Amino acid sequence: MSQDQQAADWWATAVSRVEPNVIELRGHPVQNLIGSMGFAGVIWLMLRGEQPTPAEERLLEAALVSSVDHGPHAPSIAVARMAATCGIGLNNAVATGVNLLGDVHGGAGEQCMRLLDEVRDSDDPATVVTAWRARDRYLPGFGHRFHTRDPRRDPLLTAVERAVADGVVNGSHLRAARTVERLLHPVPINIDGCTAVVYAELGFPPPLARGLFVLSRSVGILAHAWEETGQGRRNKGPIPPTIQPTYTGP
């Protein structure tokens, strides 16, 4: 193998092809996608290597819209707003917010997909739920510190129900989620659980639930960081300067 071929193979990819006057995404010329496919459809195409059906694209878009923002008290948004006042630039402020999306804040969708897989495949869902609760007091995708009933729950689950009725998805993860919700009553499913149902029904692997959440929440992070840059504050801390943190040292 020549050195030129070795160099070409080093970054071999099936995702895109870029040559002089040519840009293809998964084999589709970009000029054919511009204006003919929505952003959610392009996300599907790039991750899956195939175009979604219109119904699949609508369901994916519903989940992406649902997770865009949850106010400045969300850690990823709060830290992006603080970062925006430090003069580091909008791109760095957004990156700061995205970097807070981890296991505790932003990762519950991925974890919930794994839970739903186990419940779906088990003859004894109650035992599965008990085992998960024994490992952690917080069951991913269920309960919310702020909402007694997440307002995003019903629209998303209704969209999945319609997709099941239309034969778009098979409904196995939706049924698993409803089983867990019944076992935990009155603790309801939350947005992480609802989007986990959508992504699982659409056939995305669990790690991509976190990636898709990052794409969605980045929109809210960007909006908040941009708003903060226009408010003229500098070095905005996590609490107002009139409130001093409680000192617990000697």
The domain of 149 spans: 75-229
Same domain as 217, residue 94: yes
Task: Specify which residues 91 forms β-bridges with.
Answer: none
Cα 133 to Cα 151, 188, 214, distances in angstroms:
25, 15, 26
Same domain as 105, residue 42: no
What burial class does residue 102 get, using C-beta atoms within 10 Å of its C-beta: 0-12 exposed, 13-18 middle, 19+ buried? exposed
Q: For the domain that residue 167 is a member of, what is the CATH number?
A: 1.10.230.10
Same domain as 94, residue 182: yes
Task: Specify which residues 28 forms β-bridges with.
Answer: 25
52-63 pLDDT, tens digit per residue, is 999 999 999 999
231-242 pLDDT, tens digit per residue, is 999 999 999 989
Let me know if residue 10 belongs to a domain.
no
Same domain as 209, residue 103: yes
Residue type at position 142: F
Same domain as 28, residue 138: no
Read off the pTM. 0.94
Cα 174–Cα 48–Cα 67 angle in degrees, nearest 5: 50
Q: How many domains does the chain have?
A: 2
Assign 235 to helix, strand or coil.
coil
Let me know if residue 6 belongs to a domain.
no
Instruction: Quote the tokens at residue 51.
Output: 């175009």
Residue with tokens 């006057």: 21
Same domain as 134, residue 29: no
Residue type at position 97: G
Tally the residues of the chain: 250
Let me know if residue 3 belongs to a domain.
no
Instruction: Quote the tokens at residue 55.
Output: 């119904």
Let me know if residue 236 belongs to a domain.
no
201-223 pLDDT, tens digit per residue, is 999 999 999 999 999 999 999 99
Same domain as 144, residue 61: no
102-150 pLDDT, tens digit per residue, is 988 899 999 999 999 999 999 999 999 999 999 988 899 998 667 677 8
Same domain as 215, residue 118: yes
> Of 66, 84, 104, which residue is a domain's last?
66
Report the mean per-residue pLDDT for the chain: 95
Which pLDDT does position 234 carry in this prediction?
Answer: 92
